[in-house]
Amino acid sequence: MILKRCGTSWLLNLSTERIKCSFYQLFYVLEKNNLSINDGYMRIFVTGTRGIPGIPGGVEKHCEELFSRIAAKEHKVTLVRRSAYVSDELKSWRGVELVDCYTPRRKAFEAITHTFLALMAARKYKPDIIHIHAIGPSLLTPFARLMGYTVVVTNHGPDYDRQKWGGLAKFMLRLGEKMGGLFANEVIVISTVIADIIQRRCHRKSNLIYNGVPLPVKSRTDDYIRGLNLEPERYILAVARLVPEKGLHDLLSAFEQLRPGFKLVIAGDADHESEYSRELKARAAANSSVVMTGYVTGEPLNQLYTHAGLFVLPSYHEGLPIVLLEAMSFGLPVLVSDIPANKEVGLPQERYFRCGDVNDLKEKMTALIERDLTSDEREKIRRQIESKYNWDCIADQTIAVYQKALRQ
């Protein structure tokens, strides 16, 4: 009632300088004897992700690729995982130390609870850098700074635009975005869209470092897709969580209007079962031409990408979609919604459809479903992936941000 009566805009619109002035006086006292400039070996403590390896999610894929490479460059990386998502007993993976921490598996509380517990555990590891991922966990950036840590935040996108969140959750996510933007020593963003948000809301520059994707080795077998009664290049592939902002309901509606001959494969599941995910599964089960695989990784996912005829991403919201970059790395024909994050990838215009427009999606799928990429198109995609979305370069850029934060 208090929030409703007084409003919440006052907190989101507090003067940047007034907030910073009060906090930085205290930060100075806590940090003046702890700051160190370290251009060599660093101890990096990572939180904000569900965990690695093989845990579904865009942030999780990002962390899996990034921190294994940073660890390979002889830095000490400790990554805290959410116990509710962990099904192994790994203590390390590709040089990254793994620490499992309690998490209540409730979407409204799990990120903030886990981040708080992770920060409390961080002192044991004496980190040079605390790296917080996503805007929900970034709500605790001022707390991390008050504990005397040098903090880098990666903003993966405005999660408050996701349709699954209610009003209070959206408010807290906006507040998390602002707290990370104001109080982190350095902010990393994965697209120019997010950079503009940070500049507008927090009045500071950020470090643009795109998501990446490794160039894959295509599968030489098709036993997995054959087991799903699929034929190579005769199915449309979507890889996404079963949540409203991924637009899979639009894809199903458009697919139902296509002529017979192709199947639709949806690879993914819901982190938290919801009415939407149950309805989507029931709708798919009623159509014999729709295959839902659940979460898949490794060789099964490789086969799905290798043999697909068309990849479709009908999202209403993205940061910078790793699944789109993955599809491009396999040389797949793609069709995506015309949201800013997808348009930043720079595909030809015919590869975009109007977001939420089922008829436009159907017409574009019909036009592209039989059209393969030319050798020139495939080579252009490969050059784009190698130069702009190279994980080794991204690791070097991230390390440079750490060093920049420590030199402040």
Contact indicator for 76, 62 with CB cutoff of 8 Å: no
DSSP letter string, 336-402? EE--HHHHTT---GGGEE-TT-HHHHHHHHHHHTTPPPPHHHHHHHHHHHHHHS-HHHHHHHHHHHH
Question: How many angstroms separate the Cα of 272 from the Cα of each of 1, 108, 113, 171?
Answer: 28, 11, 17, 21
* All domains of the chain in start order, with CATH: 2-212+390-407 (3.40.50.2000), 223-388 (3.40.50.2000)
Q: Looking at residue 215, what DSSP letter applies?
A: P
Q: Looking at residue 107, what DSSP letter applies?
A: T
Q: List, in sequence order, every residue forming a beta bridge with 44; answer none if it has no partner.
A: 77, 129
Quote the tokens at residue 131.
């790296």
Question: What pLDDT does residue 9 have?
Answer: 46
What is the rounded CA–CA span in Å between residue 267 and residue 300? 10
Question: What pLDDT does residue 319 have?
Answer: 79
Quote the tokens at residue 144.
């991390």
Backbone angles phi, psi at 371, to 5 degrees: -95, 115
Question: What pLDDT does residue 56 have?
Answer: 87
Question: What pLDDT does residue 36 have?
Answer: 44
Q: Which amino acid is at 280?
A: L
Backbone angles phi, psi at 140, to 5 degrees: -95, 15
Question: What pLDDT does residue 11 have?
Answer: 47
Give pTM, 2 decimals.
0.77
Conformational region of residue 302, where left means phi above 0, alpha means psi within -120 to 50, and beta covers everything else: alpha
Contact indicator for 191, 344 with CB cutoff of 8 Å: yes
* Count of CB atoms situated within 10 Å of the CB of 376: 8
Helix axes 248-255, 275-285, angle to 10 degrees: 20
What is the rounded CA–CA span in Å between residue 343 and residue 350? 12
Q: Which helix (H) or strand (E) holds 152?
A: strand 151-155
Burial 258-279 (b: 16+ CB within 10 A, else e): eeeebbbbbbbbbbeeeebbee
CA geometry: angle at 194 spanning 207 and 401, to 5°?
A: 15
**Mean pLDDT in each 10-residue stretch from start to end of the chain (408 residues)?**
40 51 50 49 96 92 96 97 93 97 81 95 96 96 97 91 76 94 97 94 96 90 96 95 94 92 94 90 95 94 95 91 91 93 91 97 91 79 82 96 94
What is the rounded CA–CA span in Å between residue 184 and residue 104? 26
Question: What pLDDT does residue 373 have?
Answer: 78
Question: What pLDDT does residue 257 have?
Answer: 92
Quote the tokens at residue 360.
């436009």
